[in-house]
Amino acid sequence: MALGRPLAINIEHMGFRYPDNEKASFANLNLEVAEGTRFGLFGPNGAGKTTLMNLMTGVLCPNEGNIKLLGQETGKQNKEVNKLFGFVPQDFSFYQELSPTQNLEFFGAWAGLNQQQITDRTNELLHILGLEDVRNKPVEKFSGGMKRRVNLAIGVIHNPQVLFLDEPTVGVDVHTRAAIIGYLHELNKSGTTLIYTSHQLNEAEDLCEYIAMIDEGNIITQGHINEVLKTHDHHSLEDLFINLTGKAYRD
């Protein structure tokens, strides 16, 4: 994908199976994501999107093959590689009883920022994400949309080169969705590679340049979104998704 550009992610012949699961989640999976792109990973419930995100970020380790992030192998407790990426997980990753400021101070320090960097970045992110008025209130009292924005702020506190986002807008209203997607476009314009997964396919069409669809651990189509839609003769990701994955429940 995006031939000629260096790779943010390079997965080669990757196999993975959860220890308590008889069936392998992935076998001989190959995937490339070029630096600076906006990449979306889609698939039905249980297709393996979160598992693949966790493999790409080193939370899980492949049983076979390898995964490189910006040229460095993940999943080896490699502290250097950990500084290069941010992860906005599907489940909230912050401390509910702490305020946004306290959470950002904690995660900023954990990411290796000094006090001045933490203060500057916290002020910047609270402003961009509309959280200044509630900066000192406990996050547990926040709406779902505000919690999603705190989750995002934590993922980008250290200005990562690659940002992984696992369903970053689930459960938010139209305003928050537009604000989050707008901010992700801005991040990408400043050079951040986005690796995103969602069930919101309209939103994905707005955000993603390159896509891959997976089903039962296999990539069933991938490429530039316009090329993929053209190849399969569909006008929307939703039509393509239903056409390729069928209409049966998967969970």
Ligand X SMILES: Nc1ncnc2c1ncn2[C@@H]1O[C@H](COP(=O)(O)OP(=O)(O)OP(=O)(O)O)[C@@H](O)[C@H]1O
Contact residues toward ligand X (CB under 6 A) are 18, 20-21, 25, 43, 45-51
Minimum distance between the CB of residue 105 and ligand X, rounded to whole angstroms? 30
CA atoms within 13 A on the CB side of 91: 3
| Tokens of residue 11, six digits | 């997965």
C-beta closer to ligand X: residue 36 or 43: 43
Q: How far is it, in rounded angstroms, from Cα 216 to Cα 25?
A: 7
Q: How far is it, in rounded angstroms, from Cα 10 to Cα 32?
A: 5
C-beta closer to ligand X: residue 45 or 116: 45
| Tokens of residue 110, six digits | 């954990």
Angstrom CA distances, 38 to 82, 129, 134, 189, 243, stand at 20, 20, 31, 10, 23
3-state SS, residue 206: helix
* CB count in 10 Å sphere of residue 228: 19
Minimum distance between the CB of residue 208 and ligand X, rounded to whole angstroms? 16
C-beta closer to ligand X: residue 158 or 177: 177
Minimum distance between the CB of residue 26 and ligand X, rounded to whole angstroms? 9
C-beta closer to ligand X: residue 45 or 190: 45
C-beta closer to ligand X: residue 5 or 17: 17
Minimum distance between the CB of residue 60 and ligand X, rounded to whole angstroms? 9
Q: How far is it, in rounded angstroms, from Cα 165 to Cα 16?
A: 21
Minimum distance between the CB of residue 47 and ligand X, rounded to whole angstroms? 4
